[in-house]
Structure 1
Amino acid sequence: MPSLVRPAVPHYVPPPVTRENLEYADLAILDFAKISTAEGRTELTAQLRDAMKTHGFFYIVNHGLSQADNDRMFDIIDVAFSGVPEEEKSNYFADIKHGGSYQGYKPREYLIIDGGVRDQFEHYNVNHDVTRKQHPLAVRPLIPEIEAFAKFNHLQVLYPLLRLFAMGLELPEDTFVNMHNFDAVGESYVRMMKYYPRSAEDELKTKQVWLKGHTDIGTVTILWSQPVAALQVLMPDGKWRYVRHIENALVVNSGDAMEFLSGGYYKPTIHRVVQPPEDQRNYGRLSLIYFAMTDDDIKLIPRVESPVLKKYGIQRRWSNDNEAPTMEAWRKGRTSTYGLVELKKKEDGTEESMVDGIPVKHYN
């Protein structure tokens, strides 16, 4: 990120890594040091394609942001929660249910998890256009750094990844890049998130699940790895496995919009958040995420010109492309209903809601 004047803020000390023997997912590690050469991009394309055809999560290392910059961003996250009074946060609540937008704060106990238990996490979301909304007083001096961080994620991580996704479908490299204009109207955003410990009663009622298994709304999700072990991915064998923490690594997955655009070739990753292991249960869990979505006006239809899709076939979640949603319609529909509507239980054990006539599954 470019050099900026950095206001003094308290330093956040992350929790220690768990010592418990957990069952971790074996995830591919993409080395972005190879992204600058044609040979490297070919190798990374194959890695990405294999990862997306198995479990959908992968790591990125050597992405260009230093550990010191990473640490600084977690200092900033902590300010958004511990540095802003509760009464002030209420002035910046996101218009989730009616506006279908996460921009601003989502307060604790807003979503229904299971068994009548509400969530115990909050998040503060900043659009890639940081001028879209006003920010809390303590956060305002930090906005230039948050904007630089958003640009780094969008231009230096997302764009190279989107080129790899396109190459995997044998499409022109900028096919997906051209749908994710940084200056266009859209909802790509930085999410600062904090999970709080829950009561033993709530853990029992929810079977230790903090956030049900789900897929993400957009195209690509970029999670900055943190030490509290709670994120799990649903593996092809039907088992949930933990995502291991790697210092200064990115944990990346694709979402619904990428599935739509790729005609089902790139499956959205099913993941959830559960109670941390015993030696980490008394810590808060800070997360830093960049959620990428296409420009709002992009219609989420398959790239039928792809030679790969012509060979392997196209899977649509609707009967014809005229019924396909735009990115704006899909993210508003998902956002305004997630955790806020009654789910229909299915025979396979999943739960389901409908968005724009398309079934959205939740995994318990």
Structure 2
Amino acid sequence: MEVSIQTLMRRKIFVRSLQKSRVCLTLPYVPHYVAAPPTKENLEYADLAIIDISKAATEEGRAALAIELKEALLNNGFFYVVNHGYSKAQTARMFDIADVPFSAVTDDEKQTYVSTRRETGSVQGYTLLQYTDTDGRVRDQLEQYSTNRDVTERRHPEALRPLLPEIQEFNKHNHFNVLHPILRVIARSLELPEDTLVNNHDYDAVGETAVRFIKYHPRTEEEEIETKNVWLRGHTDLGSITILWSQPVAALQIQTREGEWRWIRHLENALVVNAGDTMEFLSGGYYKGTIHRVVQPPVDQRNYTRLGVFYFSMPNDDVKLVPMVESPVLKRVGIQRRCDDSEALTMEQWRKARSRAYDHSKLKGGNEKGIEEEIIDGVVVKHYN
């Protein structure tokens, strides 16, 4: 169902009113998560655009943002978002909440809420430590807890239950106040009606767009040597838009169009946003999934955990991942398909296939140096070493 700008603005006002009312409520106690101080090392940072998403509230602002966002996606595929509607205090509270499923839940209880990604392709629940390996020998040191937009859809660990209303509100904030404005601006950059992508990303639709918490733990020196300091190999995300709430531990790197790795700088209370494979499918290769990886942090941050707060967005499960051929832009520049339209998957098929394959596909050397490939339902997926 098409949603008007006026309706979305009313939702935005409603969410903001909820946020303001929180100061009058007694929130459940949550231990404070102590993050690392920002690194003082001189790193080679990527030069990313900073998008002021509050400008998307006006016609004039969206017209300007369409140009900015188009350049950002074509140049780097990553960009910052500021003025997104959450205060520093609210953001800090969410990081405190994000640590709860890891530090306040026993290993035995975590087993009760393990995801069924191998069986069903659903990542809801825990993906525990040492689930994957980085080179066939060293298991990972990250654990994940994924919710659903409807936090009541499944059971949660006891320590997390009093916090579910805040997580639900956070889901809505990411979806309506960040994701939808971005999608509206992207559609405009393709000279399509602004709600083209918004209509494919319904909040109440079946799918797995949701908040996910990820915690990286320090590794041993032997593990770092074995993996050449790479914690998560270069890859592209499976969804359309990934929203990462910036945190201070420097570990995320993107691969530039020239093939060089550059660090992502931490900006306080900013969001780090990138396009994924699904956006590449829908845009006919115009906006490509951005290659990124996670590596060992600088020396002054190596004894800290790295806590990530994400909103991984995907189109509705029933959306077929074919190019938006009605776009005048795509008609002018041409379409690069990753598979024939007749063989294109739905979002549900794609997300389940990618999730099931995670750490269970056999990778083969590709034609490019340092790149391994796997075939997922007829689509080539690359991994960058």
Q: Same fold (TM over 0.5)?
A: yes
Structure 2 CA distance, aligned partners of 1:257 and 1:237?
Answer: 23
1:51 matched to which residue of 2?
A: 72
Alpha-carbon contact 1:184-1:295 (below 8 Å) kept: yes
Contact 1:115 1:205 in 2 (8 A): no
2:363 to 328, 343, 347: 343
Give the aligned partner of residue 153 of structure 1: 174
Q: What residue number does 2:378 align with?
A: 357
Question: Aligned to 2:119, what secondary structure does the other structure show?
Answer: coil
User: Would you say 1:312 and 2:333 are equivalent positions?
Assistant: yes
Whether 2:290 is the aligned partner of 1:269: answer yes
Q: Contact 1:101–1:335 at 8 Å: present in 2 too?
A: yes
- Identity, in percent, stands at 60
Quote the Cα distance in structure 1 between the aligned partners of 2:99 and 2:233.
25
SS at match of 1:193: strand
- Once residues 92 and 246 of structure 2 are traced to their aligned partners in structure 1, the CA distance between those partners, rounded to angstroms, is 11
Q: Which digits, 9 at most, give the CA deviation of each residue in 1:53-103, with x for residues without a partner?
A: 111000000111111100000010111110111100000000111111110
- Match of 2:120? 99
Partners of 2:282 and 2:322 within 8 A in 1: yes
Checking the alignment, whether the CA contact within 8 Å between 1:115 and 1:206 is kept in structure 2 is no
**Counterpart position of 1:245:** 266
Task: Please state whether the residue corresponding to 1:29 is helix, strand or coil.
Answer: strand
Partner AA of 1:328 in structure 2: E
Q: How does 1:181-260 map to 2 (within 5 A)?
A: 181-260=202-281
Please state how far the C-alpha of 1:225 moved relative to its aligned partner.
0.1
Give the Cα–Cα distance (whole angstroms) in 1 for the partners of residues 334 and 169 of structure 2.
40
The answer to whether the 8 Å contact 2:35/2:305 transfers is no
- Selected match of 1:323 from 343, 365, 381: 343
Aligned pair partner of 1:179 in 179, 200, 217:
200
1:304 aligned partner, one-letter code: V
After superposition, the C-alpha distances for 1:146-171 in whole angstroms (9 at most, x for unaligned) are 00000000011000000011001100
Structure 2: gaps (5+ residues)? 1-14
Q: For residue 228 of structure 1, what is the amino acid of its counterpart?
A: V
Distance in 1 of aligned mates of 2:153 and 2:132: 25
Secondary structure at 1:113 match in 2: coil
Q: How far, CA to CA, are the matches of 1:148 and 1:354 in structure 2? A: 37
Cα distance in 1 for partners of 2:57, 2:130 equals 45
Give the one of 352, 356, 377 matched to 1:332.
352
1:223-270 residue CA offsets vs partner (Å, 9 max, x unmatched): 000000000000012110000000000000011111101111111111
TM-score scaled to structure 2, two decimals? 0.93
Aligned residue type for 2:104: G
Q: Normalising by structure 1, what TM-score?
A: 0.98
Distance 1:13 1:116 in 2: 31
- The alignment yields a C-alpha RMSD, in angstroms, of 0.9
Q: Output the CA distance in 2 between the equivalents of 1:317 and 1:237.
A: 22
Aligned residue identity for 1:274: V
CA distance in 2, matches of 1:298, 1:191: 22
Q: Per-residue deviation at 1:33?
A: 2.8
Alignment partners' CA distance in 2, 1:278 and 1:60: 28
Secondary structure of the residue that 1:146 maps to in structure 2?
helix
| Displacement after TM superposition at 1:115 (Å) | 4.0
Q: Which residue of structure 2 aligns with residue 38 of structure 1?
A: 59
Superposition pairs of residues 87-166 of structure 1, within 5 angstroms:
87-166=108-187
Cα displacement (A) at 1:340 = 2.2
Question: What CA deviation, in whole Å up to 9, does each residue of 1:301-332 have, x standing for no partner?
Answer: 111111001101111111x2110000000001
SS in 1 for 2:117: coil
Structure with the largest fraction of helix: 2
CA contact (8 A) 1:112 1:340 kept: no
Is residue 95 of structure 2 the alignment partner of residue 74 of structure 1? yes
Match of 1:167 among 184, 188, 204: 188
- 1:42 Cα deviation (Å)? 1.3
Query: What is the Cα deviation at residue 275 of structure 1?
Result: 0.3
CA contact (8 A) 2:206 2:316 kept: yes
SS at match of 2:337: coil
Q: Secondary structure at the match of 2:192?
A: coil
CA distance in 2, matches of 1:285, 1:214: 19
Misfit runs of 4+, over 4 Å = none
Give distance in 2, aligned partners of 1:18 and 1:148.
31
Aligned to 2:318: 297
Name structure 1 gaps, 5 residues minimum. none
CA distance in 2, matches of 1:66, 1:200: 38
